[in-house]
């Protein structure tokens, strides 16, 4: 299981995964941060990005905070790093 540390930013115009040059991961989410909507949106979006089921995406910490730790059960570390490298923005 790969573990992804990220910052969630709700109320965005579109869902988007951003990786800064320093490796910081930010996920912009369309859903608002109320009643667990942003967390549900985050799980669904990450499942789509990594090509896994929603059940494979587990929110480990940060249920009510912007900084979260997410477990990806069927993703190995090499796949995680390769996908994040593809989403990395230019400096």
CB atoms within 10 A of CB 4: 20
Asked if residue 60 lies in contact with residue 70, where contact means CB atoms within 8 angstroms, the answer is: yes
Domains and CATH numbers, the chain: 2-77 (3.30.1200.10)
Looking at the predicted structure, is the pLDDT value of residue 90 above 70?
Answer: no
pLDDT at 91 (0 to 100)? 46
pLDDT at 87 (0 to 100)? 83
Asked if residue 8 lies in contact with residue 63, where contact means CB atoms within 8 angstroms, the answer is: no
Residues 9-64: tens digit of each pLDDT: 999 999 999 999 898 999 999 999 999 999 999 999 999 999 999 999 999 999 99
pLDDT at 33 (0 to 100)? 92
pLDDT at 89 (0 to 100)? 67
Q: Torsion angle of alpha carbons 58, 15, 40, 57, nearest 10°?
A: -20
């Amino acid at each position: 299981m790969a573990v992804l540390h990220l910052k969630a930013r709700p109320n965005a115009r579109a869902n988007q995964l951003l990786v800064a040059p320093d490796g910081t991961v930010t996920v912009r989410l369309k859903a608002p941060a109320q009643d667990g909507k942003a967390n549900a949106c985050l799980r669904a979006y990450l499942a789509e990005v990594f090509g896994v089921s929603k059940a494979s995406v587990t929110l480990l910490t940060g249920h009510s905070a912007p900084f979260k730790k997410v477990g990806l059960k069927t993703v190995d570390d090499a796949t995680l790093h390769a996908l994040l490298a593809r989403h990395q923005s230019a400096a």
